[in-house]
Copies of this chain bind each other. A is one copy, B any other.
Amino acid sequence: MNVSAVAGLPEIQPGADLARLIADATSLRDGDVVVVAQKVVSKAEGRIVRLADVEPSDRARAIAAGGDARRVEVILGESARIVRLRPPLVISQTRHGFVCASAGVDASNAPGPDTLVLLPVDPDASAAALRGRLRELTSRNVAIIVSDSFGRAWRHGTTDVAIGSAGLAPLLDLGGRRDRAGYELHATVIAVADEIAGAAQLVMGKLDGIPVAVVRGLDVAGEGTAADLVMPQERDLFR
């Protein structure tokens, strides 16, 4: 497996043809997995909020604990459920089902000091659109992962995971034993899409402005999307 960063992309503006920028910056092969950082997908899709346009609620003011209540208001708006609250830290579940800090709302790498970048509305659809457009432009059959950095319970530091995908099987089931209720007794389902996202982060992470990497040499073609990586509520032991 080879993982390489794609250098030379410009700052992404709303409406940008991200697939064309990627196709211009690198030479793709059939079977490549193109990992694209969520921040540029969101920027291209215009998922940007100006703080000046946000009116914080009383609840947001209380949580903000003296910080910017407008930012908290945006986070609450992106949250389906608050998982942990240690003001001003908010860990919540997004409407997509992701559990992450600040509902994925990101001030770093935002277009300006007074803007926030939100997660894509439907990251799997974002991935599918990028994949289709790349095929149109290059005739190559690639897979796409939209990645973001998530914290983990019990472990220090973030790892990149797949919040959107197209053209690959996100889970590899090695066929382990299950109990009568269907719960796994052994760890036999591997979240390959998350591992690919993490691998891509290793070449993107240190240098700002490298939001795309290409993973070559894996055979991960298959059905499914990154939504499959969200633990179904009825099997979630940590809800």
Residues of A whose CB lies within 8 Å of any CB of B are 1-4, 67, 84, 86, 88-89, 91, 93, 98-99, 101-102, 106-108, 149-161, 170-172, 174, 176, 179, 183-192, 194-196, 198-199, 201-203, 205-206, 218, 228-232, 235-238
| 19 A-B pairs in the complex with CB atoms less than 8 angstroms apart | A1-B2, A67-B179, A88-B185, A89-B184, A89-B185, A101-B186, A149-B187, A151-B187, A152-B153, A156-B171, A156-B189, A156-B232, A157-B194, A159-B159, A159-B191, A172-B206, A194-B198, A195-B201, A198-B198
A interface majority secondary structure: mixed
In contact, B190 and A158 (Cβ under 8 angstroms): yes
Residue of B nearest to A5 (CB): B1
CB-based closest 8 A-B pairs:
A157-B191, A195-B198, A199-B199, A153-B238, A99-B154, A153-B153, A158-B187, A1-B3
Partner of A155, one of B149, B183, B194: B194
Known: A3-B3, A101-B186. 7 other contacts (CB 8 A): A89-B185, A155-B230, A157-B191, A158-B187, A159-B195, A192-B205, A238-B238
As for how many copies of this chain the complex holds, the number is: 2
Residue of B nearest to A195 (CB): B198
In contact, A155 and B199 (Cβ under 8 angstroms): no
A157-B191, A187-B150, A191-B158 given; A1·B199 CB < 8 A: yes
Residue of B nearest to A98 (CB): B154
In contact, A171 and B157 (Cβ under 8 angstroms): yes
Contacts of A106 in B (CB 8 A): 186
In contact, B156 and A191 (Cβ under 8 angstroms): yes
